[in-house]
Amino acid sequence: DAKTTQPPSMDCAEGRAANLPCNHSTISGNEYVYWYRQIHSQGPQYIIHGLKNNETNEMASLIITEDRKSSTLILPHATLRDTAVYYCIVRVDPNDYKLSFGAGTTVTVRA
C-alpha cells in the first residue's frame, strides 16, 4: 500500500508562500496524489490532485517530483483563513471507497 508521510506542523507568515511537503515513496504508477484540508469545525475540503504533471488551480499548485516519490502543495499567498490541517492522500485500492486521512500537517498562518 502506498502511504504518505507529512510533517506534523508548520508555520507560515501571512502573504508568503506555504510549501507543504509529502513523501509517498511506495506510490505506484497509476496512483494519484490528492490534497485536502480541514479548517477547524468544518468538513474536509478538496484542494487539488495530480498524477505526474504539475497542477495548478485557483487554490493551490501541486508539484510532483519526476520519480513521483514526493510532492509539494504550494499555497502561493497564505492568508489567515488558510490555517487548517492539510492531508496528502494516495489512492491505495481502486475498490476502496473510503478516503484514508492520516494525521496531516497542521498549518498555522501568522499575521
Q: Which three three-digit cell numbers place residue 35?
A: 490534497
Task: Beginning with the edge strand found earlier in the chain, give each strand of the sheet holding 45-50 in spatial order.
Answer: 9-13, 105-110, 84-90, 33-38, 45-50
41 CB neighbour count, 10 Å cutoff: 5
Among 5, 15, 102, 110, the residue binding other proteins under the rule CB under 8 A is 102
Supply the minimum distance, in Å, between the C-beta of residue 101 and other proteins: 5
Tell me the window of 10-18, 38-46, 51-59, 70-78 that interacts with other proteins (CB under 8 A).
Answer: 38-46
> Residues 76, 19: contact at Cβ < 8 Å?
no
Q: Is position 45 an interface residue for other proteins (rule: CB under 8 A)? A: yes
Among 52, 74, 101, 106, the residue binding other proteins under the rule CB under 8 A is 101
Q: Is position 56 an interface residue for other proteins (rule: CB under 8 A)? A: no
